[in-house]
Structure 1
Amino acid sequence: MLYLVATPIGDYNEISLRALDVLREAEVIICESTKEASKLLRSHGITGKKFEILDEHSTPEDKAALVPLCAEKMVALITDCGTPGFADPGADLVRLCRKKNLAVKSVLGPSSLMGLLSLSGQRLDQFVFRGFLPAETESRGAALRELTKEKRAIVIMDTPYRLKKTLNDMKEHFPNRQFLITYNLSQEDELVLEGTIDSIINKNAFEKAEFMLLIYPA
């Protein structure tokens, strides 16, 4: 059986009791990074686990090789932070397991998306989750130009080292919209900024950081 175990997005204590039970009992833990997984597990006194890797470099063959494990053993899938299968290759493993009629269960937990929306102070009954923008310049520009047609709230995320690039993209394509940005949610240096993109750029204190960006409705 495959368990999708949500892990903390910052503070290691933000993990459910059920998640800890599953991680203790799991015979195999599939993770993005053994270093990050081991740090989390050690912080809760869990050691001696067998790890398998599933990340953005995993090939279709790598993913297919994990399916028999999920058929034969109790397997927990985790990411470096957050919910597996959400904007990461864990979704591919879930799909492969479903095709084999293998049981997949969700172990709910922290959500950066829900954290971002809850901090907005607005009732957003509808929003568009755009997620990660393309890295390549031409494709990125085309995606942003298409997004400018959207009047609903938009959620964007990207890798920490593209923080400043993303803010500059917003300045170019959404100069008149209001924004909310969260940096390093649930960590000691957590920061939340709201306002025009110019005001956010002026107050930005990070070269790189884990971030999510909410573009308010037009």
Structure 2
Amino acid sequence: MLYVVATPIGDVSEISLRALEILKNCDVVICESTKEASKLLRAHGITGKSYEVLDEHSTPEDKAALVPLCAEKTVALVSDCGTPGFCDPGADLVRLCRQKNVPVKSVLGASALMGLLSLSGQRIDEFVFRGFLPAENEARARALKDLTKEKRAIILMDTPYRLKKTLNDMKEHFAQRRFLLTMNLSQEEEIVLEGPIDKLIGGLKADKAEFMLLVYPV
């Protein structure tokens, strides 16, 4: 059995009782980083776990080797923060398990995406989740140009060190739209900025942060 377990995106206590029970009783924890996973478990008094790593460097063979483990044992899949399988390699393991008829169950919890939408103060019935833009400049420019045709709300995310680059991209391609920027959600240094892009850039106090960006609909 594979459990897809959502973990905190900020405050360590932002985790469900069900998730803690599964993490306490599972045989194996599959994680992106043993350092981050063990830190979380220790914070809740859980020690002595067996870990396997599934990250962006895992090969197809690495992922396939985890499937028999999920078939034979009780396994918890976690990411460094948030819900596994959402913009991370966990999705590949879920697919492989389903192909082999290994039961997969979700253990719901913290979601940066839902947190962003809940802070918008606007009813958004439709949105385009674009996620991570390409890192390479030409591909990134093409992706942004395509997005300018989209009239619905758009949600973007990227690595912390691309925060300023992403905002500058928005200034170039979406100067007439309004934005909601969330940084370090559920942490003490959480910041939420809303308005035109110049206001967001002017209100920036750090060069990098865990962030998500909502481009409001036209």
TM bracket, shorter-chain basis: over 0.9
Amino acid at match of 2:125: D
1:143 maps to 143
What residue ranges of structure 1 are gaps of 5+ in the alignment? none
Deviation at 1:39, TM superposition (A): 0.8
RMSD (Å) for aligned C-alpha atoms: 0.4
Deviation at 1:161, TM superposition (A): 0.7
The answer as to 2:51 corresponding to 1:51 is: yes
Amino acid at match of 1:17: L
1:81 maps to 81
Amino acid at match of 1:14: E
The answer as to 2:159 corresponding to 1:159 is: yes
SS in 1 for 2:202: helix
Amino acid at match of 1:217: P
2:31 maps to 31
Deviation at 1:206, TM superposition (A): 1.2
Deviation at 1:36, TM superposition (A): 0.4
Q: Which residues in structure 2 correspond to 1:101-112 (within 5 Å)?
A: 101-112=101-112
2:197 maps to 197
Q: Distance in 1 between matches of 2:166 and 2:155?
A: 12
Q: Distance in 2 between matches of 1:21 and 1:206?
A: 37
Q: Distance in 1 between matches of 2:21 and 2:87?
A: 25
**What is the TM-score normalised by the length of structure 1?**
0.99
Amino acid at match of 1:150: E
Q: Distance in 2 between matches of 1:11 and 1:39?
A: 13
Deviation at 1:89, TM superposition (A): 0.5
2:208 maps to 208
Q: Distance in 1 between matches of 2:14 and 2:7?
A: 8
User: How many residues are paired up?
Assistant: 218
Q: Distance in 2 between matches of 1:101 and 1:51?
A: 23
Q: Distance in 2 between matches of 1:66 and 1:135?
A: 29
Q: Distance in 1 between matches of 2:194 and 2:93?
A: 37
- Runs of 4+ deviating beyond 6 Å: none
**What is the TM-score normalised by the length of structure 2?**
0.99
Amino acid at match of 1:62: D
1:3 maps to 3
What residue ranges of structure 2 are gaps of 5+ in the alignment? none
State the Cα deviation string for residues 116-156 of structure 1 (Å, max 9, x = none): 00000000011110001011111111000000000000000
